[in-house]
Structure 1
Amino acid sequence: MSSPSPGFQVSSPEHGIGRRKSQFTHRQLSLLASFSPSSPLRVIAHVDLDAFYAQCEMVRLGIDEEQPLAVQQWQGLIAINYSARKFGIGRHCTVTEAKKLCPNLVAQHVATWKEGEETWAYHDDAASHIATHKVSLDPYRLQSRQILALIKQCLPANKQKVEKASIDEVFIDLSAQVHSILLQRFPELTGPPPYDDPTEKLPLPPITALDWKADVLVDLDDAEAEVDDPDWDDVAILIGSEIIRDIRAEIRKRLHYTCSAGVAGNKMLSKLGSGHRKPNQQTVIRNRAIQRFLSDMKFTKIRNLGGKLGDQVKSTFNTESIKDMLEVPVDQLKLKLGDDTGLWFYDTIRGIDLSEVTSRTQIKSMLSAKSFQPSINKMEQASKWLRIFAADIFSRLIEEGVLENRRRPKTIHLHHRSAGQTRSKSSGIPQGKALEEAILFDLAKNMMSQIASEGRVWPCTNLSLSVGGFEDGITGNMGIGSFLLKGDEARISKVTSCDSPLDLSSHEPQEKKRRLESPGIQRFFPKKDLSAGEDQTDSTELDYTHGDVERRVSGSRSRQLSITDYMCSRCNAVFESAEALQSHNDWHLAKDLHDEERGRSTFASSKRIVPRSEKNATQAPRKKHSGGGAGGKRLEQGQSKLKFG
């Protein structure tokens, strides 16, 4: 047996007699490595920055942590540090009221975009110029990204699962990393289960006490239970708490921020734990302590129960105490709240939560907006704000990698509100060239002009500009055909695509030529004539139908070809750019694959019928699939119709 690691005490031989097996199995241990929510050993952490906006300003200004500070937005407060909270200052206080409670309070106004200026800045007089300034949260977003990047640096690259829940909170699934550390510290866990049966129980940990150091440890129902040998779930959660303790220390050391954390077996409990003792503390909720932790709590403190649903449960059962609700049978909860909601509530107040940590750090849309007090009445005023909106969004797009073409939006939307009526316009963002702030501004102005041309748009009480439809950028711009090539052909195709776009029409991929010369299974079937009036259900799933190609060909023939035109060698369609031709060639190849797949399916269905006795003797029965096939009208769950072009 290996020597115990720091924080562990070796069991004496006589201690633990009668408890030779853990309650957990080899299979449950192995599930940790795959982040499985069904493993009772999993470890989830929730890290929450303490009074984040206030800390950002304190770090930026170099203010001592004992100095009371509040972040001001116009005449209200949006964040108060813990030193200021001791004076009774809350978010509902005005700046005047807060300074009466604490005369030496530092009230720092958020950064703002000033009308007519192209960048955000900190303005001393922003609070008195609400009509000409717009709030900017960019300083806090930038700090949030730095903190998230540091958290990821502290975790193994191949064993991390991080979910950014908001600008100042993060969920971390530590299960895979904990599994790896368990195997290192306890080599007895690395061997195969007895009899190769994964349902066999694990041996008990070779320890009698765990060192929780400075963690806030939720008490157990039975005080005497603390002297019992811990099980593997306790050991796993201790390792998780060590990891989070180190991460919090690194954030403090390198970025000067404090954060609180909760470490538990699921997301719900870890989030409740991070808010249990603040600031700058870490709460651990062991599986054996869940009931004790939740019993004295109000269920309205749990996520998704603080709004209408929580009010409904409270009014229906005339209580908001979890302890009282634990006595309500699940059937009664289903009757009053509905089957799904009732069962979810029943599990939730017992600390059961199987939701996964999802790595969704990429945003789907960006919005910049302003409500006008007083209203604006001229196009010139609207244009000034649209310029600010475009600059605001573009500065955030830079963080998303738009300059490197890693991610970029496809659409832009403008919403205009006047006299209680909202009007909207949308436009596509050009994809063929680098995205610039000026492009966003020009698109916004054009949409605003369209709205203004409809009349009765002044006075305007609100404008908002947003972008969406984000997609990963494409580098190299290789066609579909290049992915079917091998060796020298692939290298030639890549050079052609990247370096010599003008020669695309003459360097048709060899694989495609072979496909045309030797149509394979297609030769067994006559070509379909779409003009004969047959059902075209399958063809209409493509963006380019046969008719679309014919119209494009006929349209291109009506004008004289120039030296800069590009012609398709298969259908003689003419295009104005190499990129357009390449996209068209990709469509041809994709349609060939589509048609061949349909042909293979038809050919397979025409095979001779095998007698049942012969089939049973040669192969096992196959499962029946529904809705399959490229030409089927019904799609499987998660599938979508392919669009080529």
Structure 2
Amino acid sequence: MSESEERIIALIDMDCFFCQVESREKPELKGKPMVVSQFNMVLAVNYEARDLGISRFVRGDEAKEKYPDVNVVSVPERRGKGDISKYRSAGAEVINVLKQHCPIVERASIDEAFLDITDLVDRRMESTLISSSNVEKYLTNTFVVGYCDTTNDEDKRYDGMKKWINESFDNMGGEQERKLAIGAIIIEELRSEIYEKCEFKCSAGISYNKVLAKLACGLHKPNKQTILSMSSVPELFSTLSVNKIRNLGGKIGMAIVEKLNCNVMSDLLCFSMDQLEKQFDKKTAMWLFNIARGIDHEQVKSRLISKSIGASKNFWGEEVITEIQKLKAWIDILSEDISERLEQDLQDNSRRATALTVSYQYVRDKKNISQSRTSTLTSYKAEKISSHAFDIIKKTMQTPVSYLKLFPDLDNIDSSIVELLPSELQQEAKIYLKSNDKDLDQTNV
């Protein structure tokens, strides 16, 4: 058994998080169809609204016109752009609950966190008499891949879960399956505590690594959790599209489909390491070889605070920037936001940013072209940040500008740039940065 299979990893994912934050603030909205929009663009849709047929990234006024019963709530605005600070604070509440019980919590986004619960599971197994009957009664919202269908049918869930537990705890069952069951009990408890203390419902995936936990989490929602054992991976991968796997939603996933003619994950099993290395670098080839078999060695890293602080603004339609004066005005606004948050972060977390990356997109031939530049950050004063950012961007500025972002690096230049790139470009960026050239051009990202 590989070392990665000895771990028990979970992903906690808040359901329709922005909508839950709003309904906690406005209890009269609970149970009613709701969308959260920013500048009239729908960002979050609760399940009641989804049942009406509403999806994300439609216009808020169009959703209201087509579905009069939907409640449209706008993200607060500050300095002319969306202010998500209350959602960020709500996410921190959840992290505070998790860190009281689990020593290894990695905050993956504003509404997601990976947990390595291996030690918690081992301690529970050592201290508690465990049998199939006393496991079953605690898994009231748990699905098991391979033992239920893709629906949330309760009867099928219960029958499948009961069958899996009986098999896992009989004489032929394996220790890892029993550990997954105990891990699922722990996650059921954590999810209940999150709801009790924060009033937020969440879904979860429990497996042996981050990729499988992420995949399992999305299979049954909302307010459900799913176990994915290694024995169920082959059957799942036989029908799972390549782009459904974490890190394969972009260019590498497209290359797998186009170059290797792989449409589902099990197709990758046909390729040897030598064949994969002819198409990808050695590290990527090894990762693809392993992940086709459900193996991923990436560890959950303790991180309770965001690794980055950024301020950005999209400019839609007629709002695109064509004049340098307007560009400077928006850089001033974003710099004020960055300055304020950096000072607060320094006070809260005793860390200091060492570099500043300025990223923008301009429109050419109806396509968004991305550019980024990084250099040393020497001051937290808003006017200094603004002047510095403006000096960086004006050297390469092309119009019209449709997107602008400033993000300081809180650890080191390499990790800041790479981790803020789309996942499919991260390996390419790491190789690029080793050349010691701290300017990074991104085209058609």
Contact 2:4/2:296 (8 A) holds in 1: no
- Residue of structure 1 equivalent to 2:352: 408
User: What is the distance in 1 between the residues matched to 2:363 and 2:267?
Assistant: 49
1:262 aligns with 2:188: no
- Residue of structure 1 equivalent to 2:106: 163
What pairs with 1:154-553 in structure 2 (closer than 5 Å)? Answer: 154-155=101-102, 160-185=103-128, 210-211=135-136, 212-219=139-146, 227=167, 228-229=170-171, 230-326=173-269, 332-333=275-276, 340-370=283-313, 373=319, 375=321, 385-386=330-331, 388-397=333-342, 399-400=344-345, 402-403=346-347, 406-411=350-355, 428-429=377-378, 440-444=381-385, 446-447=387-388, 464-470=405-411
> What is the CA-CA distance between 1:245 and the residue it aligns to?
0.7
TM-score of the aligned structures, taking structure 1 as reference length: 0.52
> What is the CA-CA distance between 1:165 and the residue it aligns to?
1.4
For structure 1, the 5+ residue unaligned runs are 1-23, 25-36, 115-132, 187-204, 431-438, 472-645
Deviations 1:106-148 (A, max 9, x none): 111212123xxxxxxxxxxxxxxxxxx2122222211111211
One-letter amino acid of the counterpart of residue 124, structure 2:
I
Q: Name the CA shift for 1:286/1:399 in 2 (closer, same or farther; >3 Å).
A: farther
User: What is the distance in 1 between the residues matched to 2:401 and 2:284?
Assistant: 42
Contact 2:328/2:390 (8 A) holds in 1: no
User: What is the distance in 2 between the residues matched to 1:452 and 1:95?
Assistant: 33
Contact 1:53/1:71 (8 A) holds in 2: yes
For structure 2, the 5+ residue unaligned runs are 149-159, 365-369, 413-445
TM-score of the aligned structures, taking structure 2 as reference length: 0.73
- Residue of structure 1 equivalent to 2:50: 85
Number of residue pairs the alignment of both structures matches:
386
User: What is the distance in 2 between the residues matched to 1:442 and 1:418?
Assistant: 25
One-letter amino acid of the counterpart of residue 215, structure 1:
T
> Secondary structure of the equivalent of 2:299?
coil
Identical residues among aligned pairs (%)? 28
- Residue of structure 1 equivalent to 2:93: 146
Computed over aligned residues only, the root mean square deviation of the Cα atoms, in angstroms, reads: 3.9
Contact 1:89/1:101 (8 A) holds in 2: no
Contact 2:212/2:228 (8 A) holds in 1: yes
- Residue of structure 2 equivalent to 1:110: 75
Bigger-Rg structure (1/2): 1
One-letter amino acid of the counterpart of residue 270, structure 1:
A
Deviations 1:189-242 (A, max 9, x none): xxxxxxxxxxxxxxxx87688414431122359989954433321221111111
> What is the CA-CA distance between 1:174 and the residue it aligns to?
0.5
User: What is the distance in 2 between the residues matched to 1:349 and 1:453?
Assistant: 45
> What is the CA-CA distance between 1:349 and the residue it aligns to?
2.3
User: What is the distance in 2 between the residues matched to 1:68 and 1:215?
Assistant: 26
One-letter amino acid of the counterpart of residue 181, structure 1:
R
> Secondary structure of the equivalent of 2:3?
coil
Deviations 1:534-578 (A, max 9, x none): xxxxxxxxxxxxxxxxxxxxxxxxxxxxxxxxxxxxxxxxxxxxx
Contact 1:220/1:226 (8 A) holds in 2: no
Q: Name the CA shift for 1:233/1:209 in 2 (closer, same or farther; >3 Å).
A: farther
Q: Name the CA shift for 1:84/1:368 in 2 (closer, same or farther; >3 Å).
A: same
> What is the CA-CA distance between 1:446 and the residue it aligns to?
4.5
> Secondary structure of the equivalent of 2:216?
helix
User: What is the distance in 2 between the residues matched to 1:83 and 1:65?
Assistant: 10
Q: Name the CA shift for 1:425/1:294 in 2 (closer, same or farther; >3 Å).
A: closer
Point out the more displaced range, 391-400 or 294-303.
391-400
